Amino acid sequence: TGYVLSILGLALAAAQTNMADHAMRDHGASTLENMLYVNVLGLAIVAVAAWCVDGREAWEYMQHTEGAAGLLVLRSVTFYFGALTFTALTRHAGAVPATAVATARKGLTVIGSFVLFPGDKPFSEWFALGLALFLCAIGIELKARMEKKNT
């Protein structure tokens, strides 16, 4: 079930990014307009799903755990500015470069977690292989862009 949900999430994220790129590029939608429609729709879906799955428990947790609501607000604000930056990047550079930047950020977050918290998880051959493949992908993308620019 986890793999199916992961693949579904990736597919929906790709569709959302491409639709946002299309709306902003071909129909003149602004970055803030895109953010409004996408986030209101997302809020409605998540609110219904959250309430149906664990709404009461989450509400009780927020009421009885000191600082939980504040952390949720802080997380929401940082996510908003991250999404705003991603949407602006999509508007100015397109869906593919914006997604590449987002993927690179995620990779750097994982690398940073190994550097900042070395005792929390062992650095295995699989992480080394993933890092090598990630760096190769960045190199191939940069090479293709430089060749395209020179032609």
How far are the Cα atoms of 37, 113, 116, 117, 126 from residue 120, in angstroms, in the given order?
39, 9, 9, 6, 16
Is 33 in contact with 91 (CB distance < 8 Å)? no
CA atoms 80, 81, 83, 88: torsion sign? positive
pLDDT in tens, the chain (151 residues): 788 888 888 888 888 888 888 889 899 999 989 888 888 887 888 888 888 888 888 888 988 999 998 998 999 899 889 989 999 999 998 888 888 888 888 888 888 888 898 888 777 888 889 888 888 988 887 888 788 888 7
For the CA atoms of the chain, what is the radius of gyration? 19
